[in-house]
Amino acid sequence: MAIYVSRECSKCYTYATWSLVYFRFVNQLFKWLVVTILLINKLSVLNKSRFKFIVIYSIIGYF
């Protein structure tokens, strides 16, 4: 019984850990997507080299 409970707890813990990792990944991806959309909207204002710099900086900042 004790072994069964510990196995179930470890399974739940693993599931919770993966859920947290997945949630954080989706959250970061969503933020990056919003930033990318905003930057694409401002592409007409910015020149291309500055746009590339901002995109690279945002990727490094979010990941």
Query: Residue-wise pLDDT tens for the chain (63 aa)?
Result: 445 556 667 777 777 788 888 888 888 888 888 888 887 777 656 566 666 777 777 777 665
28 located within any domain: yes
Instruction: Single out the residue of 30, 51, 31, 27 nearest to residue 40, CA to CA.
Output: 51
Which pLDDT belongs to residue 47? Answer: 60
Which pLDDT belongs to residue 33? Answer: 86
Which residues constitute the domain of residue 63? 24-63
Which pLDDT belongs to residue 55? Answer: 73
45 located within any domain: yes
Q: What is the domain count for the chain?
A: 1
- Angstrom distance (rounded) from CA 31 to CA 5: 39
- Angstrom distance (rounded) from CA 11 to CA 20: 14
- Angstrom distance (rounded) from CA 58 to CA 3: 47
Which pLDDT belongs to residue 1? Answer: 43
15 located within any domain: no
Which pLDDT belongs to residue 17? Answer: 82
